[in-house]
A and B are shown apart, each in its own frame.
Chain A
Amino acid sequence: MSVDFSLLPDGGLSWLDGSGPESHVVLSTRIRLARNLERRPFTVRAEPSDLLAARSQIGDAARETTALRDAAVFAVDDLELIERQLLHERHMISRELAGLERQAAVRPGASLLTNGQIGVMVNEEDHVRMQVLRSGFDLSASYRELERVDTELGGQLPFAFHPEFGYLTACPTNAGTGLRASVLIHLPGLVLTKEIAKVLQGLAQVGLTFRGLYGEGSEVVGNFFQLSNQTTLGKSEEDLLDHLESMVRQVVDYEEQARDVLQQEAPSVIADKVWRAYGLLRYARSLSFEETMNLLSGVRLGLGLNLIRDVSVYTLNKLLILTQPAHLAAQDGRALSDPTLPVSRATFVRQMLESDAARG
């Protein structure tokens, strides 16, 4: 079995098209709901036979829903490392489900059902982790979509639910609503004006938290942050989302203010930074992944400030995903450890930027 994204409408990349609200600052919105099956041990304590049974139970139920009737199914436990990493780089599965965590193999029965925008991770830390991914800052539409899937799946599957504690999850940090909403946001203005630590501290005080580009445990690269709710119990889904919404809106305002300050107080410094980033991406012959992320961040800022018009947001977003190691390696059937990947990365970036510039 291999990973074929052509099975998905738009190749599973529509969340990157830059069409959503506030996409000059916010790349994407993601919401997930964690659910478990009653009368089955949670995945960490389950035998392989339990996990496989849970997989077929969930797969059968998904086929009865409108959203997932025609979903592509990836048996993650049958995939090679590079294919699992590919799905992870696409933000379709977590590190845990992909078996990329140190000293943790892929769990038997690990699967992904997806129609591109809506996905269900099966046998992650919880039996069911359904998620929706959309372009821009769009919490309410994302949740409406996910709520429908939850209702449909819940009509088919016996979810573990406790009248006092709500939906029961393997880790008590997810119990209650099982809802984690996160907004992938680009904050170069706040980083450059050194206001970012204050903003992140403020978020922590109001019950929000941040992670890097790849979610839990990942580092911040390229000034991309995922802001999300930290608690899941004691408030309704709507209240959790409203709170995140208003806080993220404030962060977007702060970021815009920071960009104004930069442009007013150091226009030539900023222009130089932006064009240097563009120049390097356009002409370099070898690029590491981290360097690419940081340069893309600079160009993205230039786009937001209307300094650069030679490239589209969609192209920048695609570069973010398609220049990752597994994507590059899989393209030409090479190993993840191939020492020439930085050279291919530079070639790929150059070609994408050239074709955008020619079109511009």
Chain B
Amino acid sequence: MQCDNCGERPAAIHLTQIEGNSVTTVHLCEQCAAEKGVQTGASVAKLPLSGFLASVGQGAAAALPADADAGGCGFCGATLQDFRATGRLGCAHCYVTFEQQIRELLRRIHGSHVHAGRIYLPATAATEAEPVHLHAELREQLRRAVEAENFELAAELRDRLKVLE
């Protein structure tokens, strides 16, 4: 099959577009596709990774709902707008402040928002100083996990609370 655009080179990209009720299929060679700005796997693969990651991170950050901008992080003062601009969060507390948005973002980036790796056991000094803090934090997480019907996480949190108690 020849390219629909130049009629010379063999078509390598078959693009199907759906607009309203009409479906159109165009067959293009790689060169014409590139000229028309169609991104193929091959051309995506040529992009350096940082650009790609930035587009994943920032693209997703930019897609966060605008009305979520109301407040900043109580600890570092960062706002969602800052995050959108830099692709970086300001501090660990931002994850709690913007929890809803970040959960959605993590799901989009990683396909999941629930950590399944190593569990961090706080440094001894920190635990002794704030066992109550950790306990309360876990309890709060548990409440939210149940609310979000994330029962797998809830079970894990309950286990961890038991160990702590």
Interface residues of A (CB under 8 A from B): 36, 38-42, 44-45, 125, 147, 150, 154-168, 170-173, 175-177, 179, 197, 200-201, 204, 209-212, 216-219, 231-237, 239-240
Q: Which residues of B contact A160 (CB under 8 A)?
A: 91-92
Most chain A CB within a 10 A radius of its CB, from B88, B117, B138: B117
Q: A154-B120, A172-B89 are in contact. Are A211 and B110 (CB under 8 A)?
A: no
Please choose the segment from B2-10, B15-23, B49-57 that sits at the chain A interface, where 4 or more of its residues have CB less than 8 A away: B49-57
Other than the given A158-B122, A164-B114, A166-B115, 17 more pairs (CB < 8 A) read A147-B118, A154-B120, A156-B123, A159-B120, A163-B156, A171-B87, A197-B41, A201-B45, A216-B49, A217-B50, A217-B51, A219-B48, A233-B113, A234-B110, A234-B111, A234-B114, A240-B117
Q: Which residues of A contact B56 (CB under 8 A)?
A: 173
Most chain B CB within a 10 A radius of its CB, from A44, A211, A231, A232: A44
Judge whether A204 and B41 touch: CB under 8 Å.
Answer: yes
Q: Is B136 part of the contact surface with A, judged by Cβ < 8 Å?
A: no
Q: Is B121 part of the contact surface with A, judged by Cβ < 8 Å?
A: yes
Judge whether B49 and A177 touch: CB under 8 Å.
Answer: no
Give the CA-CA distance A41 to B90 in the complex, in Å.
6
Q: Which residues of B contact A171 (CB under 8 A)?
A: 57, 87-89
Q: Which residues of A contact B113 (CB under 8 A)?
A: 164-165, 233-234
Q: Which residues of B contact A200 (CB under 8 A)?
A: 45
Q: A42-B90, A154-B121, A216-B53 are in contact. Are A201 and B116 (CB under 8 A)?
A: no
Interface of chain B residues 94 through 137 with chain A (CB within 8 A): 95-96, 102-103, 105-106, 109-118, 120-126, 137
Judge whether A150 and B118 touch: CB under 8 Å.
Answer: yes
Q: Is the interface of B mostly helix, strand, loop or mixed?
A: helix
Q: A41-B75, A158-B126, A235-B117 are in contact. Are A173 and B157 (CB under 8 A)?
A: no
Give the CA-CA distance A234 to B108 in the complex, in Å.
12
Give chain A nearest CB distance to B162 CB in angstroms. Answer: 14
Judge whether A197 and B123 touch: CB under 8 Å.
Answer: no
Q: Is B66 part of the contact surface with A, judged by Cβ < 8 Å?
A: no
Q: Which residues of A contact B141 (CB under 8 A)?
A: 162-164
Judge whether A44 and B105 touch: CB under 8 Å.
Answer: no
Give the CA-CA distance A225 to B67 in the complex, in Å.
42
Judge whether A168 and B118 touch: CB under 8 Å.
Answer: no
Could you show 21 A-B contacts with beta carbons less than 8 Å apart?
A41-B76, A42-B88, A45-B76, A45-B78, A45-B91, A125-B88, A150-B118, A155-B123, A155-B124, A163-B141, A166-B117, A168-B95, A172-B102, A173-B57, A176-B106, A176-B110, A217-B50, A235-B116, A236-B116, A237-B117, A240-B117
Q: Which of B48, B112, B124, B126 contacts A234 (CB 8 A)?
A: B112
Q: Is B44 part of the contact surface with A, judged by Cβ < 8 Å?
A: yes
Give chain A nearest CB distance to B115 CB in angstroms. Answer: 3
Q: Which of B42, B57, B86 contacts A201 (CB 8 A)?
A: B42
Most chain A CB within a 10 A radius of its CB, from B114, B116, B157: B116
Judge whether B120 and A231 touch: CB under 8 Å.
Answer: no
Q: Which residues of A contact B118 (CB under 8 A)?
A: 147, 150, 167, 177, 236-237
Give the CA-CA distance A197 to B126 in the complex, in Å.
50
Judge whether A231 and B111 touch: CB under 8 Å.
Answer: yes
Q: A172-B109, A231-B111, A234-B111 are in contact. Are A161 and B48 (CB under 8 A)?
A: no
Interface of chain B residues 35 through 67 with chain A (CB within 8 A): 41-42, 44-45, 48-53, 56-57
Q: Which residues of A contact B14 (CB under 8 A)?
A: none
Judge whether A170 and B117 touch: CB under 8 Å.
Answer: no
Judge whether B95 and A162 touch: CB under 8 Å.
Answer: yes
Q: Which residues of B contact A38 (CB under 8 A)?
A: 92, 126
Give chain B nearest CB distance to A235 CB in angstroms. Answer: 6
Give chain B nearest CB distance to A237 CB in angstroms. Answer: 5
Residue of B nearest to A219 (CB): B48
Most chain A CB within a 10 A radius of its CB, from B88, B102, B150: B88
Q: Is B145 part of the contact surface with A, judged by Cβ < 8 Å?
A: yes
Residue of A nearest to B30 (CB): A197
Judge whether B49 and A164 touch: CB under 8 Å.
Answer: no
Interface of chain B residues 67 through 85 with chain A (CB within 8 A): 75-76, 78
Residue of B nearest to A175 (CB): B106
Q: A177-B118, A233-B106 are in contact. Are A157 and B49 (CB under 8 A)?
A: no
Give chain B nearest CB distance to A31 CB in angstroms. Answer: 13
Q: Which residues of A contact B120 (CB under 8 A)?
A: 154, 159, 161, 167
Q: A160-B92, A179-B117, A234-B114 are in contact. Are A209 and B49 (CB under 8 A)?
A: yes
